[in-house]
Amino acid sequence: MVASVSGHQVTSRRLLKGLRELMNEISDAQTRMNHMVTQIANEMVADVCSIYLRRNDGSMELCATEGLKPEAVHNTRLKPSEGLVGLVADGVEPISLSDAPHHKRFSYRAETGEDPYMSFLGVPLLKGGRLIGVLVVQNRAAKSYHEDDIESLQTIATMLSEFVSTSSVMEQLQGFDIKPTQPETLNGKVFAKGLAFGKALLHAPEIEATRFLADDPEAEEARLLSALKDLRSGLELLLTGEAQVQGAVPLEVLEVILLLSQDRNWEKRLVEGVKSGICAEAAVEQVRSEHRAKMANAKDNYLRDRLQDLEELDNRLLRHLSGVINSHVGFDGEAVLVARDIGPAELLEYSGVKLSAILLEKGSSSSHAAIIARAMGLPMIGQMRGLLSRLQTNDPIIVDGNTGNAYLRYDPKLAEGFGSRLTAMRAETVRVQALRNIESKTKDGKRIHLLMNAGLVLDMEHLADSGAEGIGLFRTEFQFLMSNSLPRVDAQAELYSQIFELSGGKPVTFRTLDLGGDKIARFLSHDKEENPAMGWRALRFGLDRQAILRYQLRALLRAADGRPLRVMFPLVSEISEFDAAKALLGQEVDWAKKMGRKVPQNLEIGTMIEAPSIAWSINEISKKADFLSVGTNDLLQFFFAADRSSPKVNDRYDIMSKPALSFLKYVKTQAETTPISICGEHAGRPLEALALIGLGYDRLSMPATSLGIVKEMILSVNFEKLRDFVNSLLARENVDFRQELLGFAQDNGIIL
């Protein structure tokens, strides 16, 4: 099949070929640009062709021209947004006018000698979504430029952008803002506190074209169409469940991306690019730069989200074309991981990288990725609009996880002050850690048991230093999230044996698999669910896939090797579910005895209180369970009907409200003598922990990084006085629990 070639495509190919020859023959940047504007003007039958480049201060400088006065070059500068060149720059899209001098944005500069020119066509020069200049052609006659003329000039602008942004040109042209070089401050929501320095490591780095011109446009078009076909079929497989969905890309986003991939206008822009003589990657880069530039200028949030979906589509197509996978191998130094969003499985893949912090354009403070970040002691800030378009790999960043600010390409003076804060924070950490061997008791002698949440072998290294009495929650699903196939019993048992050894004899509570929601194992196919957090997950999944649950229970029994074992079942909604799970564990104990294996000298079986339904059966389940643990993360999202992964509602409902605390008080009271703990994220926040202790909870499990500050708070509290105050608040109406408790802490010298 021979593709038809239009007149403007012939023009573009001829021009691109001529420009490539110029780049090979002439090394001086200014001479190259002078020849380029002459060649472009001749080929496009224009009286004027000019190149304006954006300086660091945002002004536009005339750097080369054919047709205007030569003495205006490097002497004519337009202020930001000034003139028609500023209009092109502001809109980052072509502007075509047949009567330019009478346009309200026209800015007359006598030194250029542009008086006789009526028509104007300007297109933006873009690199990586950043505006680096404007390419202009002008004519004396009041002509209307055709769509073919605009497309030809856009194609030429893409190649010109590549030429201008090379390091050799930048060495000769000083003071131009080609790459993001200026300091910037972005603000977002704090998901995990802390301070950090590091260099940007992009989770899905942009793929840049290694070549620009195509030797065979017809073959290049075929390669592009093949990549488009692969892209669309790959997206369809992800949506049907035949291929695994990455944790950070929700199904609804994939649906939008698939729909956009079928947009014929998008495909037409790409095909036009390769027909004009550039390679497929360069054509995608051209379109992506346009999308990114428009996204940076978009004020409407919905429009920004749609443009962000387009950029996701462009990046996926580039990866199909290049065959480059997301890789962080060989990254040097401390990394600040930068992503649109990230799932727990993807975050765990960075275990070999020295991460110092995480920044996200989206995300949720209660996502499992955020939970992992807190467990790893990594500052994490999310919901930072425009983050990806403002960063390049290796850009230096300061992350302030206390205020929610990230300082990109920061000023050295800021670094000095921040370094002092970091030193003070580390000294504070050392001071708090000094309390690790002190018994956790209130001032009036009430014993509060402090335990640690874990899910990785890495977490266990903090157990001794943290002062925790044991592991109140070991999340077993992370091993499954990191594996491409179902972990065999031997592999599971080996991990659990390591945990037993690293615990040093302290108790460990193993929670059985809690897959589903935002924790999707690669080797399992899941049907799309409207409400995955309330769908087929946790124990529901385990009881339906009994072989997987039984293998895990078998591995736990084998790893215990006769030692005491604590097993906890997640998301029990009905007592019959707990009975069924407990029966499966009993069968595995009988099987172990039959095989002549050691069984635990003491086997304790407990359940998570996460579904409100089971909270109304606490009395009954307490008679069957050896211990209970309240998972506040899930319990409160069901209690308030607020999706914990939705940034629009997950911060709206507060555990420090009378309804939530009254409910937790009821659960504690109904448990009577059955040991009950809190293992949600709230247990690790001093003020929330203070409220929970006031409700009567005396077993708190939290990230290792929170143990010291919570213990310091406990040592400064009078329990009976706190309990009476909390009960008095619960008896009042229209009470601001958070403010009242803060006032109580201040009046009584409680350290928060």
In b/e form, how buried is each residue of 160-171, taking b as 16+ CB within 10 angstroms?
A: bbbbbbeeebee
**Most confidently modeled range among 55-64, 175-184, 342-351, 475-484:** 55-64
pLDDT surpasses 80 at 288: no
Q: Which of 49, 63, 279, 679 is catalytic?
A: 679
Higher pLDDT, residue 129 or 618:
618
Q: What is the pLDDT of residue 515?
A: 79
Top-confidence residue, 364 or 141: 141
Instruction: Give residue 23's pLDDT.
Output: 61
Q: Can you state the percent helix, strand and coil of the chain, rounding each to 5?
A: 45, 15, 35
pTM above 0.75, yes or no: no
Residue of higher predicted confidence among 126 and 529? 126
pLDDT of residue 651: 72
Q: Can you tell me the distance from the alpha carbon of 679 to that of 677, in angstroms, rounded to the nearest whole number?
A: 6
* pLDDT digits 0-9 by tens, 240-263: 655 444 444 555 566 667 777 777
Question: Taken in order 531, 534, 537, 542, is the CA torsion positive or negative?
Answer: negative
The answer to whether residue 608 scores a pLDDT higher than 80 is yes
**Confidence class for position 561, pLDDT limits 50, 70, 90:** very high
Rounded CA separation 37/163 (Å): 13
Amino acid at 120: F
What does the DSSP 8-state code read for residue 209?
A: P
For residue range 372-382, what is the model confidence (pLDDT) as tens digits?
Answer: 888 778 999 99
Q: By C-alpha distance, which of 33, 8, 10 is closest to 22?
A: 33
Q: What is the pLDDT of residue 622?
A: 93
pLDDT tens by residue, 478-518:
888 767 678 899 999 999 999 999 999 999 999 999 876 66
Instruction: Residue 318: name the closest of 280, 346, 291 by CA.
Output: 280
Query: 382, 285 in Cβ contact below 8 A?
Result: no
Strand partners, 713: none
Name the helix (H) or strand (E) containing 289. Answer: helix 280-297
**Count of CB atoms situated within 10 Å of the CB of 269:** 17
* CB proximity list for 582: less than 8 A, separation 6 or greater: 569, 605, 624
Closest CA to 103 of 151, 130, 142, 64: 142
Look-up of token digits 């956009």: 260
Q: CA end-to-end span of the chain, whole Å?
A: 74
Looking at the predicted structure, is the pLDDT value of residue 447 above 70?
Answer: yes
pLDDT at 218: 86
* Confidence at 1, pLDDT banded by 50, 70, 90: very low
Say if residues 134 and 125 touch (Cβ distance below 8 Å): yes
Rounded Cα–Cα distance for residues 385 and 362 (Å): 8
Question: What is the DSSP secondary-structure string of 695-748?
Answer: HT--EEEE-HHHHHHHHHHHHT--HHHHHHHHHHHHTSSS--HHHHHHHHHHHT
* DSSP tag of 468: -
The per-residue pLDDT for 425 is 77
pLDDT at 663 over 60: yes
Task: State how far the Cα of 394 lies from the Cα of 342, in Å rounded to an integer.
Answer: 19
CA separation for the pair 69, 495 (Å, rounded): 75
What does the H/E/C string look like for 613-638? Answer: HHHCCHHHHHCCCCEEEECHHHHHHH
Least confident of 162-171, 300-309, 387-396, 595-604: 300-309
Helix ranges, 401-527 (H) = 412-433, 457-460, 463-466, 477-481, 489-502
Amino acid making up residue 461: E
The more confidently predicted of residues 364 and 599 is 599
Residue 654 has what pLDDT? 87
Asked about 368 being catalytic, the answer comes back as yes
- The predicted-structure confidence for 626-653, as pLDDT tens digits, reads as follows 999 999 988 988 999 887 767 777 677 7
pLDDT in tens, 45-60: 899 999 999 887 889 9
> What does the pLDDT read at residue 10?
56
SS3 assignment for 111-139: HHCCCCCCEEEEEEEEECCEEEEEEEEEE
pLDDT at 589: 96
If one compares 69 and 322, the residue with the highest pLDDT of the two is 69
Least confident of 35-49, 263-277, 504-518: 263-277
Amino acid 337: pLDDT: 93
Best-predicted range by mean pLDDT among 1-15, 138-152, 225-239, 305-319? 138-152
Catalytic residue among 291, 368, 526, 682: 368
Quote the radius of gyration of the chain (alpha carbons, Å): 31
Structure confidence at residue 3 as a pLDDT band (50, 70, 90): very low
Mean pLDDT in the chain? 84
Residue 427 has pLDDT above 90, yes or no: no
Q: Which helix (H) or strand (E) holds 218?
A: helix 217-240
Question: What does the pLDDT read at residue 388?
Answer: 79
CA–CA distances in Å: residue 367 to residues 182, 362, 645? 32, 11, 6
pLDDT class of 122 with cuts at 50, 70, 90 = very high
What phi, psi does 51 have (nearest 5°)?
Answer: -115, 120
Burial of 572 (0-12, 13-18, 19+ CB in 10 A): buried
Distance (Å, whole) CA 383 – CA 305: 12
Domains and CATH numbers, the chain: 7-172 (3.30.450.40), 217-322 (1.10.274.10), 328-426 (3.50.30.10), 434-747 (3.20.20.60)
CA 286 to chain centre: 25
- Percent of the chain topping pLDDT 70: 84
Asked if 63 is an active-site residue, the reply is: no
Greatest mean pLDDT among 348-352, 413-417, 600-604: 600-604
- The SS3 of residue 216 is coil
Name the DSSP letter for residue 387.
Answer: T
pLDDT at residue 591 tops 60: yes
